A and B are shown apart, each in its own frame.
Chain A
Amino acid sequence: EDQVTQSPEALRLQEGESSSLNCSYTVSGLRGLFWYRQDPGKGPEFLFTLYSAGEEKEKERLKATLTKKESFLHITAPKPEDSATYLCAVQAAGSYIPTFGRGTSLIVHP
């Protein structure tokens, strides 16, 4: 059974304080690993897809990396507007739907 574990559950940062969110996964053949951002009262918003170990994707202050067992979402010099819940999901080979983790709630204080 595919499993996704995200840590920490919650993270508070000061503006400008860089950090990383972790997504550990177990899947029978990885088809893709996905990161989403979810603001309060909104649906998740797709950020990145990573396909193979060693791959990296960047968007503004966010960079996602992937190994064979985990993915990191690095946040460089975060701003208050980066506050949100970040969701990780994995899709197994042969499956058309992803399995989601519980998310990390990020709060960035000015």
Chain B
Amino acid sequence: SAVISQKPSRDICQRGTSLTIQCQVDSQVTMMFWYRQQPGQSLTLIATANQGSEATYESGFVIDKFPISRPNLTFSTLTVSNMSPEDSSIYLCSVTSGRANTGELFFGEGSRLTVL
């Protein structure tokens, strides 16, 4: 199993600012994902972080708002740009288990952002 560390674990931010969340995995992984979990809502995939190329974004999410970096096979960052209170959420980094089925995921403990 992979151990995933996320920083920060929580933060309170001002409207209009940006925050970068870091995700470090203890082993090399091919696929890394960024999810958003809003209160009372399901986990929603923001994007797949690709090593050496641009991230693949899901419908409703754009690179200008959620730029992602993936410099190597163990690390990724997600930036939430020009934040508004609607961006208050838990952001989760995840990786596949390495087995054939990519629906089996390991998750970090999440970064809880509150935007005032």
Chain A residues engaging chain B, CB cutoff 8 angstroms: 4, 31-32, 34, 41-46, 49, 87, 89-91, 96-103
**In the bound complex, how far is the Cα of B106 from the Cα of A96, in angstroms?**
15
B105 contacts which of A41, A44, A102 (Cβ < 8 Å)? A44
Inter-chain contact A97/B101, CB cutoff 8 Å: no
CB-defined contacts of A100 to chain B, threshold 8 Å: 42-44
CB-defined contacts of B110 to chain A, threshold 8 Å: 41-43
CB-defined contacts of B45 to chain A, threshold 8 Å: 97
CB-defined contacts of B31 to chain A, threshold 8 Å: 96
**In the bound complex, how far is the Cα of B106 from the Cα of A34, in angstroms?**
12
B103 contacts which of A42, A89, A101 (Cβ < 8 Å)? A89
Chain B residues engaging chain A, CB cutoff 8 angstroms: 4, 31, 33, 40-45, 48, 92, 94, 97, 101-110, 112
**In the bound complex, how far is the Cα of B97 from the Cα of A102, in angstroms?**
22
Inter-chain contact A98/B103, CB cutoff 8 Å: yes
Inter-chain contact A44/B101, CB cutoff 8 Å: no
Count CB-based A-B contacts (< 8 Å): 58
Q: Is the interface of B mostly helix, strand, loop or mixed?
A: loop
**In the bound complex, how far is the Cα of B101 from the Cα of A31, in angstroms?**
8
CB-defined contacts of A99 to chain B, threshold 8 Å: 42
Inter-chain contact B103/A91, CB cutoff 8 Å: yes
**In the bound complex, how far is the Cα of B44 from the Cα of A4, in angstroms?**
12
Inter-chain contact B33/A97, CB cutoff 8 Å: yes
CB-defined contacts of B97 to chain A, threshold 8 Å: 46
Which residue of chain B is the closest to A98 with respect to CB atoms?
A: B103
